[in-house]
Chains A and B, each alone.
Chain A
Amino acid sequence: MSQLRPSHEELINGYLDGMLTADQEAELNVWVKASSANAAIFAEWVAFDTRLAEHCRNASVIQTNAAGLQKTIRPLPVKRLIRDKMKFAGGIAASILVLLMVFSWRPSSRLNASTELDRLIAIEPDSADRSYRITNLDPYPESVEERRPPLEGAMLHVRQPNSYVLERMFTDGSLFLTGCDGESSWALPPKGKVIVSRDLERFRGPLPGHQHGLPFVNLKSDLQQLREAYDLALLPEDQKKGLNGLVGFKKSHEYRGARQVLIWYDGKTGVIRKMQFEGLPQARGGPASVAVDLVDQGRKPDRYYQHSSHHDSNREVVED
């Protein structure tokens, strides 16, 4: 630290590294409580440093995996948490486990999460059409932007593999559609040009969980990526509805996507009825938590997933 009176940044860095003298700690204390702005600066520094530490620790885990060590999926232990095995970055897994314990909730003893996911992956997806409604679960409404309609109330129509249409509505009732027919993807705003791309993932950004290819658009691939990026556990079977459930906790900050994913599916057919994403990345806006519910399995017209089915021939179509 400099011989001159240290700046607040030097004090903060010194605190983060455990380098402050008692006098300097006192000075930091005085500075933090002097104003809410100072407290906010300090808080932001701590958030940054903590995330940096998590990133560095997780990077070593990923390198270890890449060296060929198998990281197997295991059900979360129901027994008391083992203190020195839980990393700070795994706090969410620890937190959820404690929640399970407090509510005397135990995973199904009949099934194993890993086995169950393998079973779902092995089921050949049919070519039926399925429609899902997306609901914003945040306690506050999504901010609406001029060119980005909200996800709340959006409808996602899917046909395996790789065909989808996402309908989002602006507050004035106009629709913004994005989709893919398996050969090209497209974006159809309420007015203006239709944009088409050979990149099938070009317009998947608004789909919650898209960072792992979730949800639903290419189900087999999606579930395989879920296995790669998340630690999984079983949810109790909902016998009334005949639904099984899985909950996944993201293994590492290296993986982008929701911190937590919950899936409820038909135990016999493997059809996914509901997904819930918690802690979605916020860098590009949108809600932090959403639910995606199956609402319809009616057949769509054959060309439904082509953009031409959704606009008249006068619309200009441009290649991205």
Chain B
Amino acid sequence: MDERMRQATRLWTLALPAVSWFVASQVRVVQDRDDILQDTVVAVIDSFDRYNPSQPFVAWAVGIARNQVLLYFRRKNRERTVFDSLAMEALVQAFSETVTESTVRLDFLGDCMQGLDETARELCRLRYELDMKPATIAVKLGTTANNVAKSLQRVRDRLRDCIEHKTRALESGL
């Protein structure tokens, strides 16, 4: 493996969480995210010689991902995206800066999932493993989409509170 590839691989590994999250924030279709991610890594490698090392690599890579996302929407003939250029620029910045701290905190997610009750876990399974939207889950469970959405929000809040608690405990040396 030559030094250039070694460096590119190493930097990409560090940037991948932020890039992945940025793409996920813009593109709600899970399968399409993979394609965009692959196009992004090719674009990163193609332009790696032009990367200025004095600039943060993560921000540079997320910027490339933004361009790929815009190309994706153009190909899909999407006239309207949720986030305009100003919002997208703000999100490029935000994701570039989030990565290290979020990665640390989210390492606690596995532990926190253990604390969920069976109902909450089933809801997560339907929503995330089977990729069902609240309306479809509602039909399955015999309730309303709104109730499902509220339940999901409560589960997320519970997990986030748990992560926050564990992070604070770690920081205070417990």
Query: In the complex, are the beta carbons of A29 and B37 less than 8 A apart?
Result: no
B9 to chain A, nearest CB (A): 6
Contact of B93 (CB < 8 Å), options: A1, A19, A39, A279: A39
A24 to chain B, nearest CB (A): 10
**A1-16: which residues lie under 8 A (CB-CB) from chain B?**
1, 9-10, 13-15
Nearest residue, chain A, Cβ from B87: A33
Q: Which residues of chain A are near B24, meaning CB under 8 Å? A: 46, 49-50, 88
Given A42-B91, A43-B94, A103 and B107 contact (CB-CB distance below 8 Å) = no
Instruction: Report the Cα distance A284→B174, complex, angstroms.
Output: 12
Q: Which residues of chain A are near B170, meaning CB under 8 Å? A: 283-284
Instruction: Report the Cα distance A235→B1, complex, angstroms.
Output: 8
Q: Which residues of chain B are near A284, meaning CB under 8 Å? A: 170
Tell me the dominant secondary structure on chain B's binding face: helix
Given A17-B133, A51-B109, A81 and B156 contact (CB-CB distance below 8 Å) = no
In the complex, per-residue mask of A277-313: 1 if CB is within 8 Å of any chain B CB, else 0:
0110111100011000000000000000000000000
Instruction: Report the Cα distance A59→B121, complex, angstroms.
Output: 11
Query: In the complex, are the beta carbons of B25 and A42 less than 8 A apart?
Result: yes
Query: In the complex, are the beta carbons of A56 and B129 less than 8 A apart?
Result: yes
Q: Which residues of chain B are near A1, meaning CB under 8 Å? A: 146, 149
Cβ-based interface call for A36 (8 A): yes
Query: In the complex, are the beta carbons of A60 and B129 less than 8 A apart?
Result: yes
Cβ-based interface call for A253 (8 A): yes
Query: In the complex, are the beta carbons of B110 and A32 less than 8 A apart?
Result: no
Given A19-B134, A56-B128, A44 and B41 contact (CB-CB distance below 8 Å) = no
Query: In the complex, are the beta carbons of A40 and B98 less than 8 A apart?
Result: yes
Cβ-based interface call for A192 (8 A): no
- A93-101, A160-168, A220-228, A265-273: which lies at the B interface? A93-101
Query: In the complex, are the beta carbons of B83 and A29 less than 8 A apart?
Result: yes
Q: How many residues of B contact A (CB 8 A)?
A: 69
Query: In the complex, are the beta carbons of B104 and A282 less than 8 A apart?
Result: yes
**B147-161: which residues lie under 8 A (CB-CB) from chain A?**
149, 152-153, 156, 159-160
Cβ-based interface call for B125 (8 A): yes
In the complex, per-residue mask of A68-93: 1 if CB is within 8 Å of any chain B CB, else 0:
00000000000001011011100110
Query: In the complex, are the beta carbons of B152 and A17 less than 8 A apart?
Result: yes
Query: In the complex, are the beta carbons of B11 and A32 less than 8 A apart?
Result: no
Nearest residue, chain A, Cβ from B108: A283
B50 to chain A, nearest CB (A): 15
Instruction: Report the Cα distance A96→B156, complex, angstroms.
Output: 32
Query: In the complex, are the beta carbons of A52 and B124 less than 8 A apart?
Result: yes
Instruction: Report the Cα distance A44→B53, complex, angstroms.
Output: 26
In the complex, per-residue mask of B31-66: 1 if CB is within 8 Å of any chain A CB, else 0:
101110110011001100000000001000000000
B2 to chain A, nearest CB (A): 8
Instruction: Report the Cα distance A283→B111, complex, angstroms.
Output: 13
Q: Which residues of chain B are near A92, meaning CB under 8 Å? A: 13, 16
Query: In the complex, are the beta carbons of B145 and A43 less than 8 A apart?
Result: no
Given A36-B94, A50-B21, A83-B35, A281 and B5 contact (CB-CB distance below 8 Å) = no
- Counting from the closest, the 3 A-B pairs by CB-CB distance are A56-B128, A39-B90, A43-B94
Besides the known contacts A43-B22, A53-B30, A279-B13, 13 further A-B residue pairs in the complex with CB atoms under 8 A apart: A13-B153, A18-B133, A39-B90, A43-B94, A46-B24, A48-B102, A48-B106, A48-B109, A48-B159, A51-B109, A55-B113, A55-B128, A98-B42
Task: List 8 contacting pairs A-B, 8 Å CB cutoff, sorted by A.
Answer: A1-B149, A19-B134, A29-B84, A32-B83, A32-B91, A38-B90, A43-B21, A48-B163
